[in-house]
Chains A and B, each alone.
Chain A
Amino acid sequence: MAAVTIKRLVKQFGGLVAIDNLDVEVKEQSIHSIIGPNGAGKTTVFNCITGFYRPEGGDILLDDHSMVGLLPDQIVQHGIARTYQNIRLFPNLTAMENILVGLHSHLKAGYFGIVLGLPATRREEQEANDQALQLLNFVNLGGKGDLLAKNLPYGDQRRLEIGRALATRPKVLLLDEPAAGMNPKESQDLMDFIRHLRDELGITIILIEHQMRVVMGISEKVTVLDYGKKIAEGTPADVQSNPQVVEAYLGRGSSVQATRAAS
């Protein structure tokens, strides 16, 4: 069964067609990668799924509910969470507070409950604190909850961002280049962690990644984009041997490029 279905998605910026009739089906509890050269439209797909952009055409379904036209905060409540290519934490909040913000939509405290300090509100806040501490431990940031997000080292920031996304209790997690700037050892750890997320928490994972070692190592399915179009899809092995993919990444002599430009 498909967790996320993208149907004939079109996104244009003025005259530029960033996504051109894209169809993708992401199986439930799978790890699905989207790859492609720079500017292929990968992050644009993420922005459409999470409601940052409103597509010009097509549909995005989460468990048969359309996500198109919903606001980002409504979409995250349906169970889609994401991280960002260039880390976007709340820099002047502590790691703990970053996670607590992620829990926001699961807390129910009302204005007067907060001001009056009603027992239900206090209990809820205490539980939220406990959960946030658990999540911090889960992403290996135990004991660093009181540090400002901006003061954390790069790797910790990446993991905190994933922790914050997990706090929203997503069914689908979109990771935008999580291994960027990581050395082989760190990206190996990250791969284990992503698998762990899927196996333990049953979260469907959609991944944008440039490090082919990571993509080929953990993906069950890979979709390749070029100029907003899907040019190949299949298992990592299929995709790697696909001549179109090789061409998109490396180019193949000037004559081939010329014909492509002409078409």
Chain B
Amino acid sequence: MNPAQTQKLPGIRMGLIGGVCLVILALIGIVEAFNERHIVAGVISMGHTLLLLTAAFVAYLTAARSRHLGFGRALGHVLLAGLIMSAMLALLVLVGRAVNLRQVFINASPGLYQILMFHQESLAAGMALLLVAGLLTAFLAGLLHVAPQRLRRVLITALLGIVVVGLLQDLLQPILGVWAPLATMSGWLFEVSGLSLAGALGLAVLVAAVTALWSRQSAAVRARIQSLAPDRQRNLKWAAILIGLAVLLVLPGVLGIFLSEVLTIIGLYVLLGLGLNIVVGFAGLLDLGYVAFFAIGSYTVAILTSPEIGAYQLSFWQALPVAVVLGTLAGALLGIPVLKMRGDYLAITTLGFGEIIRILVLSDVLRPWLGGAQGIARIPKASILGFEFSGPQEIYYLLIAGCFLVGFVSWRLRDSRLGRAWMAMREDEDVAQAMGINLVSTKLLAFATGAGFSALSGAIFATKLGSVYPHSFNVMISINILCLIIVGGMGSMPGVIVGAVALVGLPELLREFAEYRLLVYGAALVAMMLLRPEGLWPEAMRKRELHDNLNGTGQPDAPRG
């Protein structure tokens, strides 16, 4: 297919692609699963939102591709795309009602068809509504494309604002509930499930107003901050950091137990991600057995503290350094046999190492020491000066401390001789060696540092759960961590946090996603590679900072590191 042909009929092409996407979404059950919840109470459910947003996105792309044809014909193509998409869904309903599809597609239930027909009793009315919805969505998306840029941005932000707030209702409601005036607002904003209609409209207006204001004023604000004296800029920066810290510290109290639990899971993955980021992001060593060190940290703490094993019964604080040291040593030890391996070979070998550890802790032979399939329970909680890290709201502080420690160490290492050696090795191993970098010690330090961080988070994980089981340490953990690093941006530390929130935090909050987590991961990775291969928060930000410094004075400011 040559480009000229693909340009000729964008409406049909995009419509078919969009239609296939919609049918797949319907058949895998995601639409029905999402339908439990409403975005705007009584008006639109999450399932419909998903379908309409997908259709709108495709129609918008169609509009972008047929722009050169002129307004009238472009509109025709957009409407055609909308028609094709809804027609394909209509076809699905018709076929599904005539033939039993459930033998192959178990989610093709009558309930699904009800949703697709917008809960209409009669088939004709449902079909008509479906087609009208498709055409209308496409028409609006097409109009959005021709709207002036500023208006378009305001409208899209307002729409996304409603969707996001609706989705995160469970998160936002308790937060707003803390302070009485906000609680009143929250009562007005939310129904039991979803936003109230008035709340949604109010929210849209508010978001639109803020966006419009910001798009007009942001340049001026930025310029004013730029024009401040350097020490005042620094004060401003410190103030922002302190406010951020204060927010972090009061967060678990405000959010309550469930959300604090989500935060601790995110924290664990941030800790793990920062460690793997050193190995994969900085040094470019693709390590798929990273979960092994997490397991070593957990089991070390379990064995040393649990009365079930009984040999030691140390406190958490006595066991923690042992866990970290053992993890670090294991990292270096794994590093030795794989020193000469690169790329795929390294990935496969480390993958095997991860499995070895899991199978070892599962084995019956080692049961007296490692607990076998039943794991080790009754791991005591950590406590400090009478403050016990018992529930998620307390463990959270342990994780925050861990994240700060690990983040600080990574940051120091990154801007040092060692960090540069890692990055040089990532870029070109041979040349790095020819620049005087000892590959053996540099690689082993990367493996050991990453493994030490992983063992640290493993130790916290053990005391958080109070028990360890072999099945907690499967290869999916390694894959999850790798995914969040890629999505966040390879080698970028803020990227790890963004990635952990996006890939670990959001699925926890949006329970509907839980079953489709892998699907979402896959889609997110493909989308990332196409749209933002450098990640959500790439390392290049640092480059730009450096750039500004050099422009100002001709010298980079302050020692780096």
Contacts and interface: CB of A to CB of B under 8 A. Distances in A.
Contacts of A90: 423-424, 427-428, 431-432
Contacts of A192: none
Which of B424, B435, B437, B555 has the largest count of A CB atoms less than 10 A from its CB? Answer: B435
B224 interface: no
Given A126-B559, A129-B556, A105 B436 contact: yes
Contacts of A94: 543, 546
Contacts of A117: 412, 561
Given A101-B435, A104-B436, A125-B416, A114 B554 contact: no
A101 B437 contact: yes
Contacts of B416: 109, 114, 121, 125
B559 A122 contact: yes
Interface string A226-258: 000000000000000000000000000000000
A59 B554 CA distance: 47
A92 B437 CA distance: 18
A236 to B, nearest CB: 29
B543 A104 contact: no
A241 to B, nearest CB: 37
Contacts of B434: 50, 52, 72-73, 76, 81-82
A75 to B, nearest CB: 8
Chain A: interface size category:
35 or more
A88 B431 contact: yes
A197 interface: no
B418 A111 contact: yes
A93 B420 CA distance: 9
A163 interface: no
B417 interface: yes
Contacts of A73: 433-439
A148 to B, nearest CB: 7
Interface string A139-153: 000010110100000
Interface string B53-79: 000000000000000000000000000
Contacts of A30: none
Nearest to B414: A114
Contacts of A107: 417
Interface string A72-100: 11001100011010001111111011001
B435 A115 contact: no
B340 interface: no
B445 interface: yes
Given A109-B416, A143-B550, A146-B547, A71 B435 contact: no
Contacts of A133: 555-556
A97 B437 contact: no
A105 B437 CA distance: 7
Interface string B292-303: 000000000000
A217 B543 CA distance: 41
A115 B278 CA distance: 14
B559 A93 contact: no
A119 B184 CA distance: 55
A76 to B, nearest CB: 4
Chain B at the A interface: SS class: helix
Chain B: interface size category:
20 to 34
Contacts of B428: 88, 90
A84 B546 CA distance: 28
Nearest to B438: A73
A129 B409 contact: no
A128 B409 CA distance: 21
A164 interface: yes
A105 B428 CA distance: 17
A114 B559 contact: no
A104 B421 contact: yes
Given A114-B412, A168-B436, A125 B427 contact: no
B560 interface: yes
A92 B409 CA distance: 23
Which of B421, B431, B434, B559 has the largest count of A CB atoms less than 10 A from its CB? Answer: B434
Nearest to A108: B417
A109 B417 contact: yes
B515 interface: no
A104 B437 contact: yes
Contacts of B412: 114-115, 117
A102 interface: yes
Interface in A35-87: 50, 52, 71-73, 76-77, 81-82, 84
Contact of A93 (B417, B418, B423, B560): B423
Given A111-B418, A148-B543, A122 B561 contact: yes
B388 interface: no
Contacts of B364: none
Contacts of B415: 125
Contact of A146 (B420, B430, B543): B543
Contacts of A102: 435-436
A77 B436 CA distance: 6
B301 to A, nearest CB: 23
Nearest to A75: B434
Contacts of A52: 430, 434
B417 A104 contact: yes
Contacts of B445: 111
B33 interface: no
A91 B430 CA distance: 14
B436 A115 contact: no
Contacts of A72: 430, 433-434
Contacts of B437: 73, 101, 104-105
Contacts of B559: 122, 125-126, 129
A173 B142 CA distance: 63
Interface in B293-328: none
A73 B436 CA distance: 4
A71 B445 CA distance: 19
Contacts of A97: 420, 423
Sorted nearest first, the 7 A-B pairs with minimum C-beta distance are A105-B436, A90-B427, A114-B416, A76-B436, A101-B424, A107-B417, A126-B559
11 contacts: A73-B435, A92-B423, A93-B424, A100-B420, A101-B437, A105-B435, A115-B413, A125-B559, A129-B560, A146-B546, A164-B435
Given A76-B435, A101-B420, A114-B418, 4 more contacts: A90-B432, A92-B423, A101-B421, A133-B555
